[in-house]
Structure 1
Amino acid sequence: MFFWLCLCCWSLMGVFGAEANEIQSVSVMEGDSVTLNTDVTEIRNDDITWTFGAEKSLIAKIKKKKQIFSTYDVPDGRFRDRLKLDDQTGSLTITNTTTEHAGVYHLQMFGAKLTFKTFNVSVYARLPVPVISRDCSSSSSSSSSCSLVCSSVLKVCDATLSWYAGISVLSSISVCDLSISLSLPLEVEYQDKNTYSCVLNNPISNQTTHLDIHTLCHTCADSVHCCGPTEAVIRLVFSALVGVATVILVVYDIRSRRAEQDQAHIHTLGE
């Protein structure tokens, strides 16, 4: 039985001809559309099927002779209202992509020849602009240096945060831990003339923030300019609380001593 099945397959391939399975890698930004191309200008009498995932779930079908052009959803609903078929080429477009649409897509074209294609689709999250701030908690700063930190709230595994001096990479971090945010420190001199920038990138896009040394890095005589208004307010509030607590303790101590003196005076009079 197996022999006859193989013989039939070879016979069909001999009649129609067949192309080897072609594998293409496709990348798209989350929210954008991506088109998986059949690479033909016009389908004539072809039957086409598009499937998704290891289970090869049917998501689109074309029967050109019968003028049937259909798209299908999968049980979890990820393709609902997102699939479009080109009735001329048979290409498949996925609109408003999310990370759920990443995966393997299979194309089969049955016509004058058999065509098989596989598309590995990667969907990348949109990147936020990284933030550069003065690192007030650092103990490494000296009278001539400035401690900085670049951070991003993005929590994904496919992004890298880097410090650049000009076009040279100084340091990078890419941690696949969704419970933390990316953060990268940098120590510069106050009079440094280099051009620094912090870059957050993935394989298809990047976001860059340039360092303004004159704004963030200068002497810290004024805490408001040294660490920013938020940190300065926190320090002022903390200082005020310490001052109030000190006054309360002094008043309490004075009253306690007066009470002791009064008690001693009363005791003397009683004797």
Structure 2
Amino acid sequence: MLSNMCSLILFFICTGGILGVNGYEVKSVSVMEGDSVTLHTNVTKIKRRDQILWMFGPQETRIAEIYKKSIDMYNSNETFGDRLNLDNQTGSLTITNISITNSGLYKLQIFSNKETLYKRFNVTVYAHLPIPVISSQSSSSLSSSSKCVVLCSVLNVTDVSLSWYKGNSLLSSINVSDLNIRLSLSLEIEYQDTNTYRCVLNNTITNQTQHLNISDICLDSVPLYSYWKRVMPSLVYALVGVASVALLVFYVRSEQKAKAKISL
């Protein structure tokens, strides 16, 4: 009988530990840097003797608490400044102008007369994405003289996907979770290709797109075309100037001949 009772007590202790510490649901929340996010308690209205405690990070540092309708803010100057707000009716936590350093695990404990509730929020803050840059590779690296190799590149990005699309069809993609260097993805196309291509950088919240202009990017990598593209404007201006001077000389001489005839 005693052994059965001990087994039962041990079962409840283990079960309670799993549900109270490791077993409750973790809600994932994604937000852009600079935006505001609210972590909801799902409490309709706090009772006077209810206690709501918010903690942040692996050390479970207390950041905000409501007890007997009194609100206390902890650690606000170090991590969050004055960017934390507690709803005095529901206990929901709002973080304004959120920063990358505010990413992490937020823990909520709700103590009432009837029960104790636990919640977790895994908040991921994403930086604003840069616009990808498209450039051509050196002609010496081309596998064929009729083809152009272009690179789509971005700098200092994390938790993103970089992809090439032909119209709406995905051609290639690369994913990175922790990277703070140059990220590039190449694409090989024909010089005379008339399809539309775009490079897309995205995370779970937003994306940035750069469209490929084949004539500007690829043909510029052909030395002869690039040379004539640089020289042609000057050549046109020179021809226009010569033509203008010739017309002016012709006009002056015509005027002189007309005056000579009149004087005779």
Scaled by the length of structure 1, the TM-score of the pair is 0.69
Alignment pair present for 1:61 and 2:65:
yes
Match of 2:116, as an amino acid?
Answer: L
Structure 1 position 79, deviation (Å): 1.5
Query: For 2:178 and 2:30, how far apart are their aligned partners in 1?
Result: 22
- Deviation string 1:56-86 (CA, Å, 9 cap, x unpaired) is 11100001x3x311211168x1122121111
Q: Which residue of 2 aligns with 1:144?
A: 146
Q: Encode CA deviations 1:30-77: one digit per residue, 9 max, x unaligned.
A: 2211111111222223211001122211100001x3x311211168x1
Residue 73 of structure 2 corresponds to which residue in structure 1?
A: 71
Q: 2:171, 2:85 → 1: CA distance?
A: 45
Q: Take 2:123 and 2:175, find their aligned partners in 1: how far apart are those partners?
A: 22
Match of 1:35 in 2: 38
Secondary structure, counterpart of 1:194 in structure 2: coil
Q: Secondary structure at the match of 2:216?
A: helix
Alignment of 1:1-271 (within 5 A): 21-45=24-48, 46-63=50-67, 65=68, 67-73=69-75, 77-111=78-112, 112-136=114-138, 138-140=140-142, 142-153=144-155, 155-175=156-176, 178=179, 180-218=181-219, 220=222, 221-223=224-226
Tell me how many residue pairs correspond in the alignment. Answer: 213
Classify 1:177/1:29 alpha carbon distance in 2 versus 1 (closer, same or farther; 3 Å). closer
Which deviates further from its counterpart, 172-181 or 126-135? 172-181
Structure 2 stretches of 5 or more lacking a match? 1-5, 231-264
CA RMSD of aligned residues (A): 3.1
1:183, distance to aligned residue in structure 2 (A): 1.2
- Provide closer, same or farther for how the CA distance between residues 38 and 129 of structure 1 changes in structure 2, counting only shifts above 3 A: same
Structure 1 CA distance for aligned equivalents of residues 124 and 228 of structure 2: 44
**Gaps in structure 1 of 5+ consecutive residues:** 229-271
Q: Is the 8 A contact 1:138 1:147 kept in 2?
A: no
Change (3 A) 1:51 1:224: farther
Q: How many Å apart are 1:141 and its aligned residue?
A: 5.7
Contact 1:57 / 1:74 at 8 angstroms: preserved in 2?
no
Give the aligned partner of residue 242 of structure 1. Answer: none
Deviation at 1:195, TM superposition (A): 1.7
Letter of the structure 2 residue corresponding to residue 129 of structure 1: I
Q: CA deviation at 1:225?
A: 7.8
Equivalent-residue separation in structure 2 for 1:191 and 1:133 (angstroms): 17
Alignment deviations for residues 214-235 of structure 1 (CA, whole Å, 9 cap, x no partner): 3323373232688x9xxxxxxx
Per residue, is there more helix in 1 or in 2?
Answer: 2
Q: Does the 8 A contact of 1:131 with 1:152 survive in 2?
A: yes
Percent of residue pairs bearing the same amino acid type: 54
Alpha-carbon contact 2:157-2:181 (below 8 Å) kept: no
